[in-house]
Chain A
Amino acid sequence: MLVWTKPGKALTWTAFALVFGVLVLAPFIVVIAAAFAGTWNGVLPSNPTVGHLQEALSGDELASLSVSLQTAFLGGLLAVVVGTWGALAAHGAPGPVARVADALHHLPIAVPSVVVGLGLLVAFSRQPILLNGTKWIVVIAHLVLMVAFSYGTVAAALQRVDPSYADVAASLGASPARVLWQVRLPMLRPAIASAAGLSVALSMGEVGATIMVYPASWRTVPVSIFALSDRGQTFTAAAEALVLLTATVLVVFTLDRLRGRAVEQ
């Protein structure tokens, strides 16, 4: 920062702490407090309890967590495969084709997720592909949304990789498949790993499209939270949110560790 005087520094730090504290930390703290609150009538919650947390970790709500994790891994990881493939294909394609592919892959980010969900619902509620009412429509919704992020991450990394690596590998007699598996993909491994982390994390929190398409049998945690809060069960919703938060942090942290290892190699 370009502030050198002591009072100037103190002032900027205070301003930063205030903004960060109020906008970023406060909601977290309030959610955590609410998760353990028996009642909350005054300024501070009272009658601390772990009852809500027990509720959030049992029956339907626990099933939601499992659903969310499965969806995130299936949808997120499929999205990484599709996104990486798309980015590689677009990179090798002639200019106009690459630009169209780029635009198409970014469409799901540009379009509101509710619209994406509605589109999928209408498209897959009739023959020939009838997916409405199955978990697959949720997975596909997540896949469609996360592909955009995976594609973006891998495409950006591809831009930075010098094409001479692949050229040299080919000159050494490697077939295109060998060049792909032994040179291009390993060199993209950090980007692919961070695309995976990003996709899974975003998928764990996705609600806009999911709420349009989910069947009763496949309800993700964010949808549960929404439903609970809608029914006025704010504290249980907060407890569920805490579970979601913890699960996401754990998953992302684990993926990040894997990524760290990939970079080290």
Chain B
Amino acid sequence: MTVQLDDVSVHFGRTLALEGLSLTVAAGETVALLGPSGSGKSTALKAVAGFVRPSSGRIRLAGQDVTDLPPAKRGIGVVVQQYALFPHLRVSDNVAFGLRAARTPKGEVTRRVAEMLEMVGMTSFAKRFPRELSGGQQQRVAIARALAIQPKVLLLDEPLAALDAQLRADMLGELQKLRREVPDVAIVYVTHDQSEALALADRIAVMRDARLVDIAPAAQLYATPPSAFTASFLGGANLLPVETFGDGVKVAGHVLPGVRATPGKELLCIRPHAIRLGDAGVPVRVIATQWRGSSNQLTCTVDGLPEVSVRIDLPADLQVPALGAQVSMVLPAEACSLVPAERR
């Protein structure tokens, strides 16, 4: 089922929480809404679920306008950030809730609840109360409850945010597996964590200040970000002002061979791990180093560009320059892209 938002705005009193969002999520597609806190991600999700009413715009499911339909009539599976498992109901009754609301025959309810708990690996916890479960287990139950009604659309609001780092990595794998179990469901996945978005999403929609900034396939958005905000939010790219001369570009007065100037794009975007230290590059000075296990991250200032600092990830097996050392950074042309400067 296709989810379609058409110029949807949401106001909370005077606050504009979502401004003119247009977005289509196809059946079987996962779209991540990625953005910093307060950027309107949850609001977008709530509008699709019917929890908040758009002040303008339309929402369609499979082409049918559902803007004025209450949540109960939309048939959408929703997992909210704190899971909202009903505390007075056992795990199995939580999962059965939607089936019973639909007056599903008893035997069918039992069968389907067992199937769902099996799918998320929670069969042995069926008789427990939510408060007797860990965060990760609660999350699985919330997903089982949402999928029990066999929705054609699944909305997930920061499902991993409440978990610790190790568990988050495990659950990420489980979500990928789950994705394959429901191949034709349209999934909207809200997160402020770029690695979740990159791991799960077919397309990523980057949000900022209630607005959609960019939307594109994950790989494309990462490799050639269309805007400075997306470049730095997704993968923490370095942004360096460039000067153009004819067809070529210079950074701090140094020519970058192989990079072609594009009118209106005045910032060079390059990932920290793509920068190498070598000869004949742009001279920089190391002001901080940080060991990250698999790499060392250097923070450097660029001679001639006092207002920017550059982060460089050095593979751990390379010698780390001393603090204050002058080194030369090489910016390989294939790793560089140009984006327009921020005008705000």
Question: Which A-chain residue is minimally distant from B98 (CB atoms)?
Answer: A172
State the main secondary structure of chain A at its contact with B: helix
A189 touches B88 (CB 8 A): yes
Which chain B residues (41-75) contact chain A, with CB distance < 8 Å? 46, 49-51, 70-72, 74-75
CB-CB under 8 A from A162, the residues of chain B are 82, 84
Indicate whether A127 reaches chain B with its CB closer than 8 angstroms: no
Known contacts: A186-B88, A189-B88, A265-B88. The answer to whether A173 contacts B75 by CB under 8 A is yes
Contact with B along A169-189 (1 / 0, CB 8 A): 111111100100011001101
| A167-B80 contact, Cβ under 8 Å, with A173-B101, A173-B102, A174-B97 | yes
CB neighbours of A171 from chain B (8 A): 49-51, 71-72, 74, 76-78
- Which B136-153 residues sit within 8 Å CB-CB of chain A? 145-146, 149
- Chain A residue nearest to B49 (CB atoms) is A171
Q: Which of A142-186 contact B (CB under 8 A)?
A: 162, 164-165, 167-175, 178, 182-183, 186
Residues of chain A with a CB closer than 8 A to B98's CB: 172-174
0/1 interface trace, chain A 219-260, chain B, CB 8 Å (1 if under): 000000000000000000000000000000000000000000
A83–chain B nearest beta-carbon distance, Å: 21
Question: In the complex, what distance in Å separates the CA atom of A189 from the CA atom of B86?
Answer: 13
Bound CA–CA A175/B70 (angstroms) = 10
Instruction: Say yes or no for B173: interface residue by CB 8 A criterion.
Output: no
- Name the residue of chain A whose CB is nearest to the CB of B79: A168
A contacts with B, residue count (CB < 8 A): 19
Cross-chain contact of B149 among A165, A167, A170, A172 (Cβ < 8 A): A172
Query: Nearest Cβ distance between residue A184 and chain B, in whole angstroms?
Result: 10
Q: Which of A164, A175, A265 interacts with B84 by CB under 8 Å?
A: A164
Q: Of A164, A175, A178, which is within 8 A of B80 by CB?
A: A164
Q: Are A165 and B86 in contact (CB under 8 A)?
A: yes
Count of B interface residues, CB-CB < 8 Å = 26
Chain B contacts for A174, CB-based, 8 A: 72, 97-98, 101
Return B288 CB to nearest CB of chain A, in Å. 42
Bound CA–CA A121/B87 (angstroms): 46
In the bound assembly, the distance between CA atoms of A168 and B74 in angstroms comes to 12
Q: Which 6 A-B pairs have the closest CB atoms?
A: A172-B98, A170-B71, A174-B101, A173-B101, A164-B84, A171-B71
30 A/B residue pairs, CB under 8 Å, sorted by A: A162-B82, A162-B84, A164-B51, A164-B81, A164-B82, A167-B46, A167-B80, A167-B84, A168-B80, A169-B86, A169-B101, A170-B50, A170-B51, A170-B70, A170-B71, A170-B72, A171-B49, A171-B51, A171-B77, A172-B97, A172-B101, A173-B72, A173-B98, A173-B101, A174-B98, A178-B101, A186-B88, A187-B87, A187-B88, A265-B88
